[in-house]
Structure 1
Amino acid sequence: MRGGRVPVVRYRTAAAAMAALTLLGGPLTVPAAAEGPGISAAGECGKNAQNVQAVPWSLQRMVLDELWQGGATTGAGVVVAVIDTGVDDQNPQLASKVLDGGSLLKDKEGKRVEGGGKDDLVGHGTKVAGIIAASHSEQTGFVGIAPGATILSIRQNDAEGNGDVHSLVEAVNSAVQQGAKVINISQDVRGAADTRFVGYEELKAAVENAENKGVVVVASSGNEGKKGDTYPAAFRTVLAVGASDRNNERTYFSQYGDFVDVAAPGVDMLSTVPRGGQCVDNGTSFAAPYVAGLAALLLGAHKDWKPSQVRAWIEQTAQRTDHKANEYIGWGVVDPVKAVTTAPATPPDKPVEDPPVQLASAPIVPRPLGLGETQADRDGRTATYVLGIGALLVALLIGGGIVLRDHRRRP
């Protein structure tokens, strides 16, 4: 707790990262926006955007037919709760797949804000939901990771940051009660150096209760671009997701530390916006739903998996840069196709480190360096001489025999 004030839950947008960098006096570098028709820079389109024909880069890396295995694994039957600014299902790609989980939003004076879970005046929650479960459309190359999943929208925050720890706790508990199997939280709360803030124990209890009820909780790591835990991502039972770029490296704004479990694409992320169309945005806000969608695919195909097994398998199949987890991208950048197509009947509860590289057990024998002949060269040359001399002797004997014969035939 800072100054006795309840910390406000903050979004994972690039704007938050830029504001933090400005305050810290660091370089103000904005992630480049994607190019193409209908794609705008982060935050420039809030609703009624154009349809983008191109397939976004985050989907180009996957063979979607393998990911969905001919339609057998699309996340069908899995409810994913999006605790955010609401989800507008008037976008055709989200139509008929959003459940109204209610609104917990109150203004600064504590009065309830009008609207429900399907009201999104910000656009943030609609983008998050699209990355998870947007349906196929001939109008765009964009589609959600788990297009068969259902979204449970719980409106808990807004552009002014009126959400707090108390309402986040209430939202997590509500998502569990309403039957969600995956919960996506693209926001965070931070406390003092001792990590204890007002509502810490209540939030910890809420995510642990979700774990006990068989619910996978996914949260983004934060956008301040520095080392330090954020919550609920740093809780043990939460899958903490950082943002990666096209090179599978941590983006400059992605919060890092030992609490990060995996990374996922978080730059130039195309997704649905209220009313219709798609727009690009940046942030760990949009890396987390990428992983939440993968969790929905795994649970759709393996309904008996425990949350710990889902987390462990996503971590185990990630594209690693080290034999174990590191503080920048955790176990690596998630690989949805590998996670789905190689899933065992019973996965481990914890990821396994790769064995360190070892040299062969046979001793290395030093050999002299130089430009002279080797023994093999000398043996080869000797053999050539022997064969040549032998052939010459045979030729002389044959030739001599012919000459002697002709000489004897003369009268």
Structure 2
Amino acid sequence: MDSVKKYFENLFGKVISTDDPDFKRKRLLVITVTIIIVIILFIPLVFFAISALGLKESIKDLEKTKGQKTFSLTAPYVPDELIVKLKASYTEEELARIEKKFKELGVVSQKKAFESEDPLLRNYYLLTFKKGTDIKKAGQELTDLRELVGVEPNYLVEVQASPNDPFLGQLWGLEKIQMQKAWDISQGSNSVIVAVVDTGIDYNHQDFVGRNIIKGKDFSTCDLYSSNDSCSSPKERDSDPMDDHGHGTHVAGTIGAATDNNIGIAGVNWNITLMAVKTIGKDGRGTTQDIVDGVVYASDNRANIINLSFGQSSSCSGSYQNVINYAMSRGSIIVVAAGNNNVNAQNYSPASCSGVIAVGATTSSDGRASFSNWGSVVDIAAPGVGIYSLSPGNSYKSRNGTSMAAPHVAGVAALLLAANSSLSSAQVESCLVRGADPINTDKPIGPRLNAYKALTTCLNISPVPTGASPTGMPTITLSPTPSQVVHEIYGGVFIDANGNKAWDAGESGYSGAQITTSGMQALSTLTDTSGIFSFPNVAVGSYSVNLIIGGQIRATAGAFTITNNTRQIRVFFFLPPSILTPTTIGEQAPSPTPIQITPTVIQTTPTLSITRQTSPSPTPIQTYTCRESTPAKKPLPGSIKIGSLVCEPN
């Protein structure tokens, strides 16, 4: 008892006495308080230790996933199919890893996704898997495979229109955009080709009699999709783009139904050449694969303007952006529907792709159509409610949709080119937007198209005085160009693994770097998944090209001059661990500081198949380039086969 008494007296002095009759109760209270104090002090330490361990594991997990991309499915897609992009060349070990992964995932066939042999599109392949494959899981595993540049679903697209009362509205849209006054300036030209990449065109319609119509091709591969998005009625591609749906004929009628013929309606253009390119089946749906081939066909066949009145609920994919870059590099102006989902168009394609003219829909009172997508990517609006136009079988129909708004813009763009064929894509867009009428809408869809003001704004024509009734076509003085050369700044950003300031086989591109130009035009874009960037249809003048990473200009190439005869200038940036050095093909920059470059001007789109050793080692590494196996072309000796792919030694 004395020892206990001494303990408590030492601990609490005389506060608690062992002689106290309540000693036991007070002792218990003190012990309890002591235990509580210890717990209060100890538990945070435990939690801190646990949190530290958890943080350590989280950091490990973060390090594991750093740089990984997530594969997602954001819109209806074709089951058991994926579109992948291969690198320009491979080592034997890399090919072995690809073959192993394909076998693990149940790939049953590989074929070229698109018909084009252009470097932007030729390395895309369509993979077909065993029936019932979990495409999201397969897509993620292939996305994680470093040997592939890109992976995306074979998305389904839909036309952006819906039927309406066939007698509603008639041609209020043409009146709203002041077509009567515009026709006194330009009535179009048969030398301007507008491609309608859609469900085809009923080229036998009575309101197309006398109209120049190029019968392109039918790229659609399915007439009817089932409820689970698989094709229940597959079809072969052919050379007849006849419309069996009606959407494409309606779009084409707005652009160029025969005018002043005492039949039916009037199109925006009195004179025009239409190109029918069918990419969508009779149920109003098509695939990414079919769309891309249709756009390539249109641009390869000299379409000045390509109208795309369809869409899907996903942001712009690599294949969509590449085919748009491809078409623009050949001088085509791309006009697209903003979409009919009443959502931000930045999550919709092709409206969210760079370089397109995205069109929202307005009502007769200049309000935003309730269905029209909106947002900063929508450049301009046009009538899209109760639009009366052609329907197959010599009939007519009224439809709603951004699909109906887009051809108004495409048609006026054609009028601008008819008046001045030297206008670039950027200049045409500027004419359309600057000449449009400001409107107040609940959500942004840009100004509303005004054909008359677009023409007077860009052609420097004095407006017709109110009440005047001009006759005939005014004489317009234009500045001719020596030739219809399309000017492009093209290049890439690469990780320079061996520090030789040059691209070597196996070196990856740097995705997402911002590239800007200064000088004649201030332009901006991001490098794609391959590290490639392109500014198609740039104006003649002096330029510098800047590489921006982390918000800072890290290197500048230029200045250089694009002349009337310049086809293309290529600028490449190489990123070693501690230096950013711009250079052009055939040159090596001596220092990381901005340098004057001598542009390399070529007449074709460049390829990344640059012949170099992959490293400064004594023995060069053998690399292979893959293609689709065809009976007409035998594989080179030493080739490696992966299913229907043939990878030939370089």
Do these two structures clear the TM 0.5 threshold for a shared fold by scoring above it? Answer: yes
Mapping 1:230-249, distance limit 5 Å: 230-249=348-367
Structure-2 separation of matches of 1:186 and 1:267: 15
Aligned amino acid, residue 56 of structure 1: L
Give 1:93's aligned residue.
Answer: 207
Correspondent of 2:407 among 277, 280, 289: 289
Name the TM-score, length of structure 1 as normaliser.
Answer: 0.69
What per-residue deviation string (whole Å, max 9, x for no partner) do you get for residues 136-166 of structure 1?
2554562111121111111100243541111
What per-residue deviation string (whole Å, max 9, x for no partner) do you get for residues 324-357 of structure 1?
x995222x00001111133237999799xxxxxx
Q: Is the 8 A contact 1:8 1:161 kept in 2?
A: no
Structure-2 separation of matches of 1:279 and 1:303: 33
Give 1:120's aligned residue.
Answer: 243
Of 157-166 and 267-276, the range deviating more from structure 2: 157-166
What per-residue deviation string (whole Å, max 9, x for no partner) do you get for residues 344-380 of structure 1?
37999799xxxxxxxxxxxxxxxxxxxxxxxxxxxxx
Aligned amino acid, residue 316 of structure 1: R
Aligned amino acid, residue 6 of structure 1: N
Structure-1 separation of matches of 2:261 and 2:195: 27
Query: What is the SS of the residue equivalent to 1:209?
Result: helix
Mapping 1:8-407, distance limit 5 Å: 8-14=156-162, 39-40=166-167, 56-61=171-176, 63-69=178-184, 72-95=186-209, 96-107=211-222, 108=231, 111-113=234-236, 116-140=239-263, 142-191=265-314, 195=315, 200-229=317-346, 230-321=348-439, 328-330=444-446, 332-344=447-459
Q: Is the 8 A contact 1:309 1:349 kept in 2?
A: no
Aligned amino acid, residue 260 of structure 1: V
Task: State, as a whole percentage, how many aligned pairs show the same letter.
Answer: 28
Unaligned 5+ runs, structure 2: 1-71, 74-134, 137-152, 223-230, 461-477, 480-519, 524-650
Structure-1 separation of matches of 2:233 and 2:179: 45
Change (3 A) 1:277 1:162: closer
Using the TM superposition, give the Cα deviation of residue 125 of structure 1 relative to its aligned residue in structure 2, in angstroms.
Answer: 0.5
Change (3 A) 1:171 1:304: same
What per-residue deviation string (whole Å, max 9, x for no partner) do you get for residues 220-254 of structure 1?
01111122421111112000001000111110000
Aligned amino acid, residue 295 of structure 2: V
Change (3 A) 1:182 1:259: same
Structure-1 separation of matches of 2:260 and 2:241: 21
Structure-1 separation of matches of 2:357 and 2:233: 31
Structure-2 separation of matches of 1:118 and 1:94: 15
Name the TM-score, length of structure 2 as normaliser.
Answer: 0.44
Using the TM superposition, give the Cα deviation of residue 129 of structure 1 relative to its aligned residue in structure 2, in angstroms.
Answer: 0.3
Structure-2 separation of matches of 1:251 and 1:121: 27
Structure-1 separation of matches of 2:521 and 2:420: 14
Structure-2 separation of matches of 1:120 and 1:242: 25
Structure-1 separation of matches of 2:240 and 2:405: 22
Change (3 A) 1:117 1:261: farther
What per-residue deviation string (whole Å, max 9, x for no partner) do you get for residues 388-408 of structure 1?
xxxxxxxxxxxxxxxxxxxxx
Structure-2 separation of matches of 1:244 and 1:55: 15
Of 103-112 and 246-255, the range deviating more from structure 2: 103-112
| Richer in helix (by share) | 1
Change (3 A) 1:79 1:228: closer
Structure-2 separation of matches of 1:213 and 1:115: 25
Aligned amino acid, residue 265 of structure 1: P
Query: What is the SS of the residue equivalent to 1:101?
Result: strand
Q: Is the 8 A contact 1:56 1:141 kept in 2?
A: no
Aligned amino acid, residue 341 of structure 1: T
How many residues matched? 308
Change (3 A) 1:315 1:349: farther
Query: What is the SS of the residue equivalent to 2:453?
Result: helix
Q: Is the 8 A contact 2:199 2:279 kept in 1?
A: yes
Query: What is the SS of the residue equivalent to 1:219?
Result: strand
Structure-1 separation of matches of 2:424 and 2:360: 23
Structure-2 separation of matches of 1:141 and 1:87: 17
Using the TM superposition, give the Cα deviation of residue 83 of structure 1 relative to its aligned residue in structure 2, in angstroms.
Answer: 0.5
Structure-1 separation of matches of 2:419 and 2:521: 18
Change (3 A) 1:327 1:239: farther
Query: What is the SS of the residue equivalent to 2:306?
Result: strand
| Richer in strand (by share) | 2
